[in-house]
Amino acid sequence: MEGEHKLYTQLHKNISEIFLTYCSLNPQRNLPPSRTAPDARHQHMLWKGCGAQQLRRGYPKESLQSSASFRQNLAGALSYARSRRSKQPRAAGSNTSASAADEESPKRVLVPIADGSEEIEAVTVIDVLRRAGAEVIVASVEFTDVTQAESRLECVMSRGVKLVADVGIKEVVGRGKPTFDLIAVPGGMPGAERIRDCIPLDATLRIQADSKRLFAAICAAPAVIFEPKGLLEGYAATAHPAFVDELGGSLEEKSIYAEARVVADGQCITSRGPGTSLEWSLCLVEKLFGPEKAAEVAGPMVVQPANRAALKALEWTLTK
């Protein structure tokens, strides 16, 4: 019961956000100055528009969470409302800072996953970026059949762990869809190959790199996905030891960075494998939010400082 109450509260907050944005874009239908939330009539219309009558009629939480149409409609409405709000001109004399606007609109991150993706890398980057406050969207590139008419959200990872994505890839990429501040691609095989061959994602990855927005990959992904698409041209990069020799092209720096744990060259951030995924993820936090936020996130996670020697005889560390 407590879980359903929390879910209802979060949904009500999202619905209110959509409504207030609508009012700001339509002044003739704006709220009275004293009202900070939609009244019952408007609220009912918004619930209906997002397909959420289920919850108001007392459907179990599991039924609501399994409703793909509800998730899709609500996520789409929220993304549209936030994008429209961010494009509104500021009022004359407004002293709202750019940093305040950034806080209001969280950084959007796409993490595509597939059958055979590396679970440690995928879960680590999702978890760390969410701890930092990013809006992380986990998108499955899998479909229920060869027609690709319907996405399959559950992916069986490289070691058999089942991970359920937030959305199917077609829901978040393509013409007219909001852009991402970062696209972070986990490795693993054959997951990297399946992500590489995902047609809906291909154009989005190329546009991300061409637009000089952050794009990142780890393990097999730099060599299997980024290299064949030409996304690493002019960038230093690294990859898993089994794949690093497949990097090349114009990468004159390869011999220098092949064994680096994380390589951050401008907008391109690459790393080596599951054991470096936490460092890679924290580097992405630093790129999105700055070094102070990276340190803030790393502190409670008790991240081992690089090359720290053991303090006690029985303390185990990776340091030789």
What CATH number should be reported for the domain holding residue 169? 3.40.50.880
Catalytic residue among 50, 155, 198, 219: 219
Asked if residue 18 has pLDDT above 60, the reply is no
- Quote the domain boundaries for residue 239: 106-298
Same domain flag for 125 and 49: no
pLDDT for residue 248:
78
Task: Tell me, yes or no, if 240 is annotated catalytic.
Answer: yes
Same domain flag for 57 and 115: no
Same domain flag for 279 and 154: yes
pLDDT tens column, 43-98: 444 444 444 433 433 434 444 444 444 455 555 555 545 554 444 444 444 444 44
pLDDT tens column, 122-155: 999 999 999 999 999 999 999 999 888 899 999 9
Same domain flag for 149 and 67: no
For residue 155, the cross-strand partners are 163
Complete DSSP assignment for 147-214: T--SB--EEE-TTS-EEE-SEEGGGTSSTTPPP-SEEEE---TTHHHHHHT-HHHHHHHHHHHHTT-E
Say if residues 258 and 244 touch (Cβ distance below 8 Å): yes
Same domain flag for 37 and 167: no
Same domain flag for 111 and 76: no
Q: How many CB atoms lie within 10 A of CB 311?
A: 7
> Is residue 311 in some structural domain?
no
> Is residue 73 in some structural domain?
yes
Quote the CA–CA distance of 318 and 159 in Å, as a whole number: 24
Residue at which a domain ends, from 52, 85, 118: 85
Same domain flag for 80 and 154: no
Asked if residue 293 has pLDDT above 80, the reply is yes
Q: Are strands 262-265 and 268-271 parallel, antiparallel or unpaired?
A: antiparallel
> Is residue 59 in some structural domain?
yes
Same domain flag for 60 and 197: no
Q: Which of 64-73, 205-214, 273-282 is the least confident region?
A: 64-73
Total domains, the chain: 2
Quote the CA–CA distance of 46 and 24 in Å, as a whole number: 16
> Is residue 255 in some structural domain?
yes
Q: Which of 75-79, 86-90, 224-228, 287-291 is the least confident region?
A: 86-90
Task: Tell me, yes or no, if 23 is annotated catalytic.
Answer: no
Same domain flag for 44 and 189: no
Same domain flag for 57 and 191: no
More reliable by pLDDT, 158 or 303: 158
Catalytic residue among 42, 155, 198, 240: 240
Same domain flag for 65 and 212: no
Asked if residue 35 has pLDDT above 50, the reply is no
